[in-house]
């Protein structure tokens, strides 16, 4: 099977400081690939390069090739690429001025994914159920996300990403600032999503990596140290 993401000889600089060195890796489709490494090792930068979100950072340049679903990322329409490989940030970032419902609905509405209101309601419910948040918020969809806990907000952000029906989910330490209960729930969410989409997860938590990874990539100082299948 073709990998969902294929990276060859990626070198990346931010303001002339090299962050990534000769990175090559493959993220198989419908698997969880975990990128693990210490803080400052370049793992988040690598993740943000996959859907070109890194280009929002000033002074970035990179060489090498990244293919997403078989197509060079430079040949993608950048917005379509970001809708296909959706990024979820480390710190929950729901839109504070929108309701819980609107937060999930905004993607499908903007990108004409839905036919009518009933269809939108279905997608919102589906995404919230997938993110294991529906039961906690179904009675207060009209409230602002500020009423939710940090862990719930992070699951809301995952639901918001899922509502776009992406083929790839890029998660940047999604449980870094979250309590153990919510961490467990998010891990359950990811395990359930494994069969429906390709997931690339960045973490510095070794135990979490071992619990989730189908493929494990260890990165240190911008170099890939090893790439293994846990259990091998």
Partner 1 sequence: MKEDRLFFLALLPFGAIVVAVFIVFVSTLLYNSLPIFIHEGLMVYTSSTWRPVENNPEAEVYGLLAPMIGTLEVSFLAIIISLPPGLSLAIMIEEYLPTGLKSLMETIIEVMAGLPTVLYGMWASLFFADYLKSDLMIPLHEILWFIPIFGCMPESPYTVFTAGVILGIMIMPYMVGLILDGIRQIPKKIREACYSLGMTKYETVRILLRLMRPVIIASVLLSLGRAAGETIAVSLTIGNTYNIPECLFTPGYTISSLIADQFGNSGFYVYMASALYAGGLFLLLLGVITSSTGLYLMRRWKTSV
Residue of 3, 42, 107, 174 that binds partner 1 (CB under 8 A): 107
Q: Which C-beta is closer to partner 1: that of 86 or that of 224? A: 86
Q: Which C-beta is closer to partner 1: that of 63 or that of 91? A: 91
Residue of 29, 60, 69, 106 that binds partner 1 (CB under 8 A): 106
Q: In what order do the strands lie in the sheet with 32-36?
A: 85-88, 168-172, 198-203, 32-36, 215-220, 223-228
**Chain centroid to CA 77:** 19
Integer Cα distance of 225 and 219 in angstroms:
5
Query: Which residues within the stretch 74-103 sit at the binding site for partner 1 (CB under 8 A)?
Result: 79-84, 86-89, 91, 93-97
How near is the Cβ of 226 to partner 1 at its closest, in Å?
29
Q: What is the 3-state secondary structure (H, E, C) of 15-49?
A: CCEEEEEEEEEEEECCCEEEEECCCCCCHHHHHHH
Q: What are residue 172's DSSP bridge partners?
A: 202
**Helix/strand/coil for 98:** coil
Per DSSP, helices labelled H in the chain are 43-50, 78-84, 100-110, 117-130, 134-137, 150-162, 180-193, 206-212
Q: From residue 1 to residue 30, what is the string marking binding to partner 1 with x (rule CB under 8 A)?
A: ------------------------------
45 is an interface residue for partner 1 by CB under 8 A: no
53 is an interface residue for partner 1 by CB under 8 A: yes
How near is the Cβ of 96 to partner 1 at its closest, in Å?
6
Q: Which C-beta is closer to partner 1: that of 155 or that of 224? A: 155
Query: Which residues within the stretch 156-175 sit at the binding site for partner 1 (CB under 8 A)?
Result: 157, 160-161, 164
From the list 49-57, 128-136, 176-184, 199-207, the region that binds partner 1 by CB under 8 A is 49-57
How near is the Cβ of 105 to partner 1 at its closest, in Å?
12
CA angle in degrees (0–180, nearest 5) for 138-140-141:
75
Q: How many CB atoms lie within 10 A of CB 172?
A: 20
- The contact set with partner 1 (CB under 8 A) reads 51, 53, 56, 79-84, 86-89, 91, 93-97, 106-107, 110-111, 146, 157, 160-161, 164
């Amino acid at each position: 099977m073709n990998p969902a993401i294929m990276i060859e000889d990626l070198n990346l600089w931010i303001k002339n400081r090299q962050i990534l060195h000769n990175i090559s890796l493959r993220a198989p489709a419908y698997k969880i690939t975990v990128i693990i490494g210490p803080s400052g090792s370049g793992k988040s930068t690598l993740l943000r390069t996959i859907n070109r979100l890194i280009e929002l950072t000033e002074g970035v340049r990179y060489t090498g090739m990244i293919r997403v679903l078989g197509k060079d990322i430079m040949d993608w329409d950048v917005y379509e690429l970001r809708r296909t490989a959706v990024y979820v940030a480390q710190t929950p970032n729901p839109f504070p001025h929108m309701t819980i419902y609107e937060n999930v609905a905004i993607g499908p509405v903007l990108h004409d994914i839905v036919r009518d209101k009933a269809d939108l309601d279905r997608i919102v419910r589906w995404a919230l159920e997938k993110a294991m948040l529906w039961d906690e918020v179904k009675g207060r969809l009209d409230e602002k996300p500020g009423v939710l806990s940090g862990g719930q907000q992070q699951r809301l952000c995952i639901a918001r990403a899922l509502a776009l029906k992406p083929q790839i989910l890029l998660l940047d330490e999604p449980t870094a600032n979250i309590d153990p209960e919510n961490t467990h729930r998010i891990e359950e969410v990811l395990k359930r999503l494994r069969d429906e989409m390709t997931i690339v997860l960045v973490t510095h938590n070794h135990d979490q990596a071992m619990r989730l990874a189908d493929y494990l990539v260890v990165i240190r100082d911008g170099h890939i140290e090893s790439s293994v299948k846990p259990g091998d």
